[in-house]
Amino acid sequence: MVRVVILGQGYVASIFASGLEKIKAGKIKPYGVPLVDELPIKIKDIEIVGSYDVDKAKVGKDLYDVVRKYDPDAPESLRGTTVRKGIHLESLRNLPLEATGLDDEMSLKEAVERLVSEWKELKPDVFVNVCTTEAFAPFENREELEKAIAEDRKDRLTATQVYVYAAAKYAKETGGAAFVNAIPTLIANDPVYVELAKESNLVVFGDDGATGATPLTADILSHFAQRNRYVRDIAQFNIGGNQDFLALTDKERNKSKEFTKSSIVEDLLGYNAPHYIKPTGFLEPLNDKKFIAMHIEYVSFNNARDEIVVTGRINDSPALAGLLVDLVRLGKIAVDRKEFGTVYEVNAFYMKNPGPKEARNIPRIIAHEKMRMWAGLKPRWL
């Protein structure tokens, strides 16, 4: 059994909850879940025991009613869990929503205590952080983090940063837990948080779930690298209509994407080919099914010039939600093995910006095999 608490009951979390229930009920196949039921922990063993949000329209509502807004086919079996009030810290600022957070009513210290106390009742094994992309600054040292909490520096901290802090406290007191950070805020890449996790019996996976065009770009670049084709330039656009794309029109938040290892190009090619890779815009009717376009130009043998273009329509939230079905189980496995801190083998396949800080990107096809071996499974092709 894996007991899961969701932080941020938006599109991804709702598709995760809905799809999970449908798979458990045998209504759909577990497509998009990389490890399916190969792990000792099965999909049916996953249970969502709590959910947090700060959107006034969600807090206090039944999970089923929230999920149904994103997936009209949401199963009734989702009923019975009430969405709780979480940490806000301006994480919804500039979005067309009314927000309410614990931090609007109490100090951060009190909010952390409140969360830890609620979690001791809910007994989660794994936290899944799928808040809206935040504008954040990483921490340089432990003291600064502790001080920011102690001094109630609501302008310095983001919801994610407080949630991990609280999760560490909870893990330390209860023996162990895992925190899956699926958004760009640096956690598995912030040495301060990794150290905190190690000391606190916490596993952190992160950062920024590897969905969308980037992992595909990674494998295509590896394909060229292995043939020694010289990549002249890479352009990658994507435009979508869900709240995450809306949030990225906020310049501060968009900057948070810049912390993402832009080294993916250099890591895979061995040189830093000129590239333009960033979320491009918001177009409401596209909704959750974003449009991506990618252009790569390269030099082949005898100085021949080739080019390829990839375009596509990709459902954003399901791509990440499917990975979460693995990540919560791998989180529990890591806790059981007491591999506290972060786990590169997991991050390298599932995350856009695999922690720890000094870790590099490798082709996802190979990362997948290494992750399987870490998980105790036979590699598929090696």
**Distance (Å, rounded) from C-alpha 70 to C-alpha 353?**
27
**Distance (Å, rounded) from C-alpha 361 to C-alpha 17?**
30
> How many C-beta atoms surround the C-beta of residue 273 within 10 A?
19
Q: Would you count residue 208 as binding a copy of itself (CB under 8 A)?
A: no
Q: How far is the CB of 230 from a copy of itself (least distance, A)?
A: 5
User: And the tokens for 360?
Assistant: 């590099």
Stretch that binds a copy of itself, among 126-134, 168-176, 286-294, 329-337 (CB under 8 A): 286-294
Query: CA nearest 41: which of 372, 318, 328?
Result: 328
Q: Would you count residue 216 as binding a copy of itself (CB under 8 A)?
A: yes
Q: Would you count residue 322 as binding a copy of itself (CB under 8 A)?
A: yes
Q: Would you count residue 246 as binding a copy of itself (CB under 8 A)?
A: no
The alpha carbon torsion through 101, 160, 194, 210 (nearest 10 deg) reads 150
Q: Would you count residue 304 as binding a copy of itself (CB under 8 A)?
A: yes
Contacts of 253 (CB under 8 A, 6+ apart): 133, 134, 135, 247
**Distance (Å, rounded) from C-alpha 257 to C-alpha 140?**
19
Total chain residues near a copy of itself (CB under 8 A): 78
Q: How far is the CB of 309 from a copy of itself (least distance, A)?
A: 5
**Distance (Å, rounded) from C-alpha 378 to C-alpha 382?**
9
In 3-state terms, what secondary structure has residue 217? helix
Amino acid code (one letter) for 18 = S
Q: How far is the CB of 46 from a copy of itself (least distance, A)?
A: 13
Q: Would you count residue 25 as binding a copy of itself (CB under 8 A)?
A: no
User: And the tokens for 369?
Assistant: 């095999």
**CA distances for 222 relative to 2, 164, 254, 263, angstroms:** 35, 34, 27, 14
Q: How far is the CB of 301 from a copy of itself (least distance, A)?
A: 3
Q: How far is the CB of 258 from a copy of itself (least distance, A)?
A: 14
Q: Would you count residue 305 as binding a copy of itself (CB under 8 A)?
A: yes
Q: How far is the CB of 107 from a copy of itself (least distance, A)?
A: 39
**Distance (Å, rounded) from C-alpha 266 to C-alpha 82?**
45
**Distance (Å, rounded) from C-alpha 4 to C-alpha 20?**
12
Query: CA nearest 352: which of 311, 323, 310?
Result: 323
Beta partners for 20? none
Q: How far is the CB of 37 from a copy of itself (least distance, A)?
A: 10
Q: Which of 68, 69, 104, 230 binds a copy of itself (CB under 8 A)?
A: 230
Stretch that binds a copy of itself, among 58-66, 108-116, 214-222, 329-337 (CB under 8 A): 214-222
Q: Would you count residue 378 as binding a copy of itself (CB under 8 A)?
A: no
Q: Would you count residue 250 as binding a copy of itself (CB under 8 A)?
A: no
Q: Would you count residue 269 as binding a copy of itself (CB under 8 A)?
A: no
> Closer CB to a copy of itself, residue 186 or residue 371?
371
β 289-299/305-315 pair status: antiparallel
Q: Would you count residue 71 as binding a copy of itself (CB under 8 A)?
A: yes
- Considering only residues 29 to 68 of the shown chain, the ones binding a copy of itself according to CB under 8 A are 29-36
Q: Would you count residue 96 as binding a copy of itself (CB under 8 A)?
A: no
Q: Would you count residue 203 as binding a copy of itself (CB under 8 A)?
A: no
Q: Would you count residue 356 as binding a copy of itself (CB under 8 A)?
A: no
Q: Would you count residue 271 as binding a copy of itself (CB under 8 A)?
A: no
> Closer CB to a copy of itself, residue 166 or residue 218?
218
Q: Would you count residue 137 as binding a copy of itself (CB under 8 A)?
A: no
Strand segments (E) across 46-121 = 46-53, 83-85
> Closer CB to a copy of itself, residue 190 or residue 326?
326
Q: Would you count residue 283 as binding a copy of itself (CB under 8 A)?
A: yes
**Distance (Å, rounded) from C-alpha 73 to C-alpha 80?**
17
